[in-house]
Each structure stands twice: as C-alpha cells, then as structure tokens.
Structure 1
C-alpha cells in the first residue's frame, strides 16, 4: 500500500518535472526533502506556529480597524504572487529543457499513460476548499473575539484540539498510533474550554466606540470558542490532504501554490472590486494584511512538508506555539493583558499538546 511506504521510498521532487536526463538528480532531491522533513518536522512545525502566530496577530490588528470581511479578501496577495511566480519559473525551466512551456508528460496532473489524474485534482481542490472554510472561520473568530472582549490568542489556543482530532482521524485513515495520551488530551482540552468560558472579559474601549457594543450587548465568549473548534476540523482536512499529496507527483511548492490558486485569485478579484467600487483600503490596512499574507505563505510551505512527512498529531501540536507567541505580541505591542482564567485555559491547552508530544517519545 502506497501510504504505508517509508519516507525514503517517497516520490517527492523539489520541482514537478521528471526528465530522463535528470532522473538521478530528481531522486536525490526526493531523498533530501523526505529525510529533512522526516527528521526535523517538529522544528519545522514550530516555525509554522511562529508564522501563523504572526499572521493571526497582524490580521487581528487589521480586522480590529474595520470589522469588515473585505480584509480577508486582501489577505491573499502573497498567495497569488507565490502561485504566479512558481508557475512562471516552472514554465521557463520547462521551456529551456524541453522546448515548450508545458508538456503533458511532465505535468503532475497526468499519469504515466497520459490520462488525467482526477485524484490529484481532488486532493488540490479539497485542500483549497479547506483553506476557504478556514480563513472565513478565522475572520469571524477574530471579530467575535474582539466583540466578546477575550484575547484572541486565548481563543486561538483552542486550535490545540486539532492535534487530537488529527490523531483520531489519522488512526482510522493511516493506522497511526492512538493511545491513552489522546484521551487525557481530550480531558485537558475540555477542562481548558471550561476555564476560558468561565473568565470575565471586557470589550476594548476602541472596539466599543467603533461598534457601539456595551457590556450588556457584547457577544458571549462561547461564540469565538465554537468558531475556533469548528476551524479545527478544517485543519484536520488540511493535514489529511497534505498526507495524501506525498503519494502523487506534486512537489511541496506546487501543491502549496496550486491549492491556494483558486482562493487567491477569487479573493484578489473581490478585493479589487471592493477597493475601486465600494470602499478603498487604507495604506495601513494594506501593510498589515500584506505582512500577514507573507507569514501565511511561509507557514503553509512548512506546514505542507511537516504534515506530509511527519506525525500528523504531533505536527498540529507543535503548531500551537502560535498561541503563546501571539499573546506575547498582544502584551508587548498592544498592552493587552489577559485575564487569569484565560491564561489558565491557555496553559491547559498547551499542557494538553505538550503532554501528547512528550508521551510519544
């Protein structure tokens, strides 16, 4: 069975070309990438956490200024740039080596018999849909966090549940080990939600002025909690498709670029429509979202590699470093200090993920 092969057997080229005069070179690239992520996936997953923490924080700042979904549309600039750059470079390389910008024989979307590989399209499309769902839920989670008064970093620490959900899903799909530690993790995660929900939060004064929300009309903290939990399932789907990706001819870079192509093109068009026909983006909004978009792309590249060659549950667990990292940014940049119950809840979330990691050693 292909999914059960060891990492050194994986077919994972750095670029998506397979030429007879460079097969040996491509095989070497396969081994290098597979060994790198197989050996260092915990560290690369931590890099993903830092990138995602920065991405969430910068987007949090942008959303707090306007409370409009159009901010999310602008967020796909780096994804679109990465997609166009990758395809352009790939086409130029193909032209130099084969005399054509594109050949069916070298396309990852066609099998060795020259037939269209619908499975590859399904994987890329599935990943794209999960991204659309995830970023939409993220926006509403950010907005709900602001309108309920809870630190966004505390709410996003709930994403730690994704490590448990991923481990359970991969147990049934890929036969990865599942043990008592995951049951303990579920219990700790449930307790952390209780702690977070029990905290008393106060809506920021600037948010009150922009939205007219009062202490009596502010959102319940359960709203961002539920949204964060729902997003965990989108993360599980993303991990699943990343794992499936390594059984295809897709490279990490092409998979990242192609899976983000639809959402980046669609959202970029919507951003242009809103900017020129409805309400222009301010320069500050543009800068914040552009930086967050860059962090997102870098995080996605490392996430795909880590998820494809590492243990799915542990990768999701290490990514949760994004929550405390984002909290530090909130404290030092915004002087936004969390409540005691919120910190306790975050600590419990992190404790659950760390327990899973240590018990796997």
Structure 2
C-alpha cells in the first residue's frame, strides 16, 4: 500500500534523539529552546513556543488572546476538528466562513460579507482562525486588513504549511496575524512524533503562552533569590501541554532538511499537475501570492464528467493499493456541530469541495515510480 502521507526519518534524526536520551535532560531541557529559536529564525518570527501537539497550540493561542464565554471564534469549515474545537474549549462559540472554491481556503469576500452582517447584529468575532489548507497560505493581507477594520485578532492555523511562502516572507512570521500554529504530526511536513508550536511577534503574548503550556507557573531569578531555588508561583490556570526534549531534538534535526522536504513536495505536485492533465478532475489551484508547501495534494473528482462517484474512485484506488484519503468533512456537518444548530447547505462551497475531494499520496520519500503507479491506478479507475 502506498500511503497518502508518511514521515521521513534518517540516521541523523535517530542520532539526535539518542543523544538526548543519553543526556541529563529528556523532558524540559535545552533542545526545546533550541528548536523554538531555530524555527522562529526560519520563519522570521520573534518567538516560538513549542507544545505537545497542534490542538494544544490552538487552545492556548485562544486563551492567550482572552477568548472566553460569550466570545465568537470564526474558522474555515474545510479543516480538521481542532480548528473549531479550540474555541469551545475556552467556553466560546465557533462559527465558520465559507471557502474560496479555487483555493479551498477561507474566502476573504465571504469573510467581509459575514463581518458586515455581524457588525449590524452586534456580534463580531473576537478571533478569526484562517486555515492554510494543504499547505497554501490564505490571503492573509486581505484578512489582516479586515482585522484592523473590524477589530478581531488573527490566529493562522498553519498546521499544513510549515515551509510555505506568502508574499515576501515565510508562513509563520506573523506579519499578518497575532499568532500562527504549526503541527508536527508524523504525516505533516516536519515531525516530532507528536508536537506543535505557536509563533508570536509579541513578547508578552509569548510569555503568556509559555505559562499556559505549563500549569500557569512562573519561575524567575528574583523569586528564587527571595524564597529559594525551589520556588514557583501559579499566576493563571494552565495545562500540561509541554513538549519533551526528545521530541524537540527530532524536530530540530528535521528542520535542517525542511527546505528539501518542501522542494520535493513541490516537484511531486508539478509532476501530478502534468500527469493528470486531461482527466475528469481538478488539480489544486495555486494563488500567485505564495508557494504552497504541499502537505496534501487534493484533487476534485468531476463526477458528471467521470461517470462515476467519488466513492467509487476512492474505493477503486484503495483496492489497487493506493492509500488515498479525504480532507475534510466540513466541520459544521459533523453530528456534534449539527446538534449546536448548524445545518447542511450553510457553507455550499465547502460542501461542494468535500463531495468530490480525494487526497493523493504526497510525501518526501514518494518516488517518481510510485507516483506513476498512483496515476496509472487513477487512470484505470476513471477509464
């Protein structure tokens, strides 16, 4: 079976982890700070705060921006559950902004229309979480302009987009947002096994994130001098969302190959574009404002032109040993969110995309021969 995604682990990665295991620090040690600083430099961000996973990162990002009961958080319907659930963890309400049918990202025009209506109703969002689906940045300049006009904060869910480019910088710089979140799950571009990071440009926000990931505790030299080296204080309600030195060492090792990971994914995407030309499907379209990191390569099956359903194509590929997947079932269509009042048909662009979406295999070690096998199987299923 050719999977839709997989990690790439080298002997250097293994050696980096082994070195930490042989050291005095395997939980909260120097590898974490080194990883945070290195990724912040890479992205052009001022600060990075590493945590146990990207869901934890989204949660504390909302908390750091004072999201709480009575607040609204808007995100994309075309995303994983965590992008919306993080608002509910804080006692806030989640709502959604439909996608651009060309990029599958949050549509700035739909966002503006929703903001106009929300202002008239006196129910503007406190935070908007645009999701960089498949590795392509949203139109962050347009979203930042709306944030200034309507007074909301912006958290980029960049879980798919480490290494991606937007305008004149890297995704994660926070040039157009308050915070940005990365994921290091094994199927993502860079892995720590499980892990995530929040990027920030504001030192006070970064300090608050650090407290929130570790029980709301504060330790500093002044307190130690006054009370003793053992002393700490809890200043807020925090969580045990800490990443380990073992994981951070793996991430730091992988970071040295991030550009090569992304370059290979872009080359594979270009090959897919060429090899799939003429088939009854739509390849992912790219905005001229950036360059995707291609965490995913989602195609959209034109069922009318293909003469078969997306389900039939999906099942045919799985039967041929091609481990395709689907990203994503629109979050507001989930039973839990339907029970909270969302109805089918509210986000038609996201629903239309989902009805035809299939994610083809896309990962660094996918060979040209394996990619040719994927395309040949797809051609047979569609024939």
- Normalized against structure 2, the TM-score is what? 0.31
Q: Counting helix residues as a fraction of each chain, which structure ranks higher?
A: 1
- Normalized against structure 1, the TM-score is what? 0.32
Q: Counting strand residues as a fraction of each chain, which structure ranks higher?
A: 2
